[in-house]
Amino acid sequence: MEAVSLSPLGGGGCHYKEMKNSKGDIYMEKRSELLNLDTTHFHVFYEEADKNFAMKLFGLIEEFYLNICQKIHSSPGENVYELYICGSAENFIFYTGKTKEDYQDWMVGNTDMDKKRLCVVSPRAKGNLSESYEEYLIKVMLHEVVHIVFDSICRPEECEIWISEGIAVWLAGQTKMDYISEKDYPRIADLGGKEDMYAFADNGGYDYCGVYVWYLMELYGMEKFLSIYRGECALEDLLVENFEHRAVIAYRTQYGNG
């Protein structure tokens, strides 16, 4: 088990790991220093080895957060969130509060509204320092920021997974044309409902949910979508016949091969 000790001044802290000696006694071993960058609404924690990646996130996170708040007419207020940039899968498991059994290799970002905490792995954690992978992880962080804004208006477990994940995928710019097929697309009924995140991921939910939410907003607009998100109207009454196929065709027509 690991623990974090932060300076009361918020200037940084230490990363510790619970260890056992040869006698079986438990002690806390200091592993690394945590550095800290602050914006108005975020405390960003990272290790020195991830400094360049942290600086890029630091330069984006506040403006993106305010833009999403403005898009849904939500006041950012005085909320302050922690963002942990995790340099290993072990750190990600600890900061997210997951168990090793729950953790899956595809998990690279997480939001915990109760703790007001976001986590994202660093490129170093995955052993991939390419520019394209760094850009992918930046979008993962933006995805998590969308979650904290939308989760402030409704608990995510109160709406279907494809809705809560879809708006985050869409606004973070994670939808990729190359992954969108006009023939082999998932049915919404197979995307895990409100609870089964594993079914959602295994059935292509992350590839298609952004497209489905985009089409929903094309049909009804953002205000209606917010009503859907809050559970104020029956989603099944709004899904036109062959909704998934129509969404894919409309998306490919709108955005071509870009």
Q: Are residues 114 and 200 in the same domain?
A: no
Mean pLDDT, consecutive 10-residue stretches, the chain (258 aa), reads: 37 54 56 85 96 95 96 88 94 91 89 92 95 96 94 80 95 92 92 87 93 96 92 88 95 80
Q: Are residues 164 and 110 in the same domain?
A: no
Phi-psi region of 257 (alpha: psi -120 to 50; beta: other; left: phi over 0): alpha
Total count of domains within the chain: 2
Q: Are residues 149 and 207 in the same domain?
A: no
Write down the pTM of the prediction.
Answer: 0.82
Question: Tell me, what CATH number does 19's domain have?
Answer: 3.30.2010.30
pLDDT tens digit sequence for 90-139: 999 999 998 888 888 889 999 998 899 999 999 999 999 999 999 999 99
From 132, 153, 174, the end of a domain falls on 153
Range of the domain at 201: 156-258
